[in-house]
Structure 1
Amino acid sequence: MSDPSTIRAAVLDRPGVPTRIEALELVPPGPGEVRVRMAAAGVCHSDLHVRDGDWDREGPIVMGHEGSAVVEALGDGVAHAFPGLRPGVLVALSWLIPCGRCRSCRAGRVWNCSDSPSYTHRMPSGRAALRRAGGGDVLTYCAIGTFADRQNVPAAAAIPVPDGTPPEVAALIGCCVTTGAGAALKTAEVRAGSSVAVIGLGGVGLSCVMGAAIAGAARIVAVDRVAAKLDLARIVGATDVVLAAADGETTVAAIRDATDGGPDTCFEAIGLPATIEQAIACLPTGATACLVGMTPFGARASFEPFPFVDGGRRILGSNYGSADPAADFPRYAALHLAGRLPAERLVTARIGLDDLEDAFAAMRRGEGVRSMIRFD
């Protein structure tokens, strides 16, 4: 444990340039840290935002924030503070660990933590977990950097999941499932018997569909411009589908027609100003638009205030599905094992680490739902 280990990882020197696969030195886990062997990592649209320069991030940095891993070694103090963590345990990795001190954490809203060490892309101690052989720190995205075959992560980010949870499902629970299903179950609190529309059927949008189905929504309308994604939405719980038109007004009209005048809750799961505006425009009186998709920095959407206020409509922002990862990750895994959360359907391609740039290109073209990097 005294010598650093060599790992393979996808490194981004700065936003807007291609990633490179590099050999890096992984230092031993420090106090409060866990060394893990990555099992599976999903390629998320947030990774693409950073890769393409939509979001500014410090570099060099190992990309990836959706993953599952097997615990290899514990740093000092971990066994006592986190008794569920031991070598051989499968964990889902959380890209947000609460600071426990800020206003949101004190109020129990850990998903809104404003001072999470995850946002520094370093370990909670402030050190980087990785370095290049010639010297120089390499950061890890959200302190977990899942596009690597092994990694050090904060112990608080490693959440054990129930026995029998498939590694790919555990990885998806680490981001898109929790973000989407939680938006329906926790942020918007979809009511049994209500109507729901979901605009955008990537991993997060399809997870919104699954969450609405678990909540007992009577009508779930899935909206996308790709017919294959509409077929998949039906499999995971949608009752109706709308093939999005080039004209936004046509799409809004189709959503209204499918929901008796408009859905009680409309989820926007893409992060585009045009579709955000459609989610708001399709609402009947008293209804809610829940914004889940992440836009590029600086993007703006607009709506007409008078009918919005006069009709008692609402807009909710949903970050990480209002998740408390330590409590919610095992809950979503249990729902999967019970057959109620078919998250495995989201994986449409299995790839190696060297295929990452091809996965980004497919995402830009709107192909598939989730590319999953396997490390076995």
Structure 2
Amino acid sequence: MIYFDNSATTKVHPEVMTTFVAVNEKFWANPASIHEFGHQTNELLQTARKQVAEILHTSSDKIYFTSGGTESNNLAIFGLASKYKNRGRHVLVSEIEHPSILEAAKQLNKNGFEVEWIPVNSDGVIIVDAVKSLLRDDTVLVSVMHVNNETGAIQPIQELSAYIRNNSRAVIHVDAVQSFGKLPVNFGELDVDAITISSHKIHGLKGSGLLALKKFIEVEPLLFGGGQEFGIRSGTTPVPLAVCTAKAVRLAHDHLQENANKMKEMTDELIPYLKSFHAIKVISPSNRAPHIVSFSVRKIKGEVLINALQQKNVIVSTSSACSSRQIKTSHVLKAMHIQDEYIKGVIRLSFSSLNTQDEINQFKKIFTNVMNVIKGD
């Protein structure tokens, strides 16, 4: 199998799996227990938290382990807006966010906040001048993803945050689910207030992730109970998942440059190859993350191409795995004003460090044969 759907999920790293088994076997006590076994387990948990905090350039008590990207994004949207609502009830969110941000923002709108949407250009990049016109004295929260999960477009987070810092008191949240491990991500690099990371996008385990806050930034909890995770996420902390999240974060961070270079070489090779087909439009912009290439075949539905490739044991996806089964037009592509003849045929290829040059070579041969059969206009 040739697996080019790593933006949907990645294969678990062997070191992460080894860690998961070892922690479950040796540190299975409740970290909140007052006995020595619980204390030892808690020490392991706090070590994992400290390691992540050092990588992201914040303090340990600002790392909250969660069930993944969706929970972290919801915690950021609801928790930050609620915590700082004394500053205002105006929220800015980009049009191209993941559904876990979009739907949370829509709910905020029902709860008395005023949400406005930041438009993007034809490359799927937010228009910073639009932010300048939308930002107000009562803007409390701005949420913009670092890398779009459908197109790979890199958003101008540094430029955005610099303007917001100079012109408002809004807190800034960045969904870094698709950028961590591919681009530099930390509070010093991005100058934001909250960062979301999902473990299974970086060869960690599903059902785990984190929300990190900048020092001195606070958030209101969504879950209430025993007060775990500094009172922000009640419920017995799943120490094996937290430790494995830290392990995946460390591996992705330590091998960032070599992995990014490898993936960029593969995608750089594929783009001119794809452009050689007259029926294909490459959707991903030039300023893209190294691991994603999105393209469309004119007047051919994406599902047709996915099924044809799957028969050849090649796994790809439509523009977003989260909504691909719903067979609906992507909100991202609509925001980019992709032409009707292309908008239903978008395919996303997404890579990891586990992919090889041999797979690229095989894919090109298989894809050429498939294109000869489906005959895109």
TM-score range, shorter chain: 0.3 to 0.5
More strand by share: 1
Q: TM-score by structure 2 length?
A: 0.35
Structure with bigger RCO (C-alpha 8 Å, 6+ apart): 2
Q: TM-score by structure 1 length?
A: 0.35
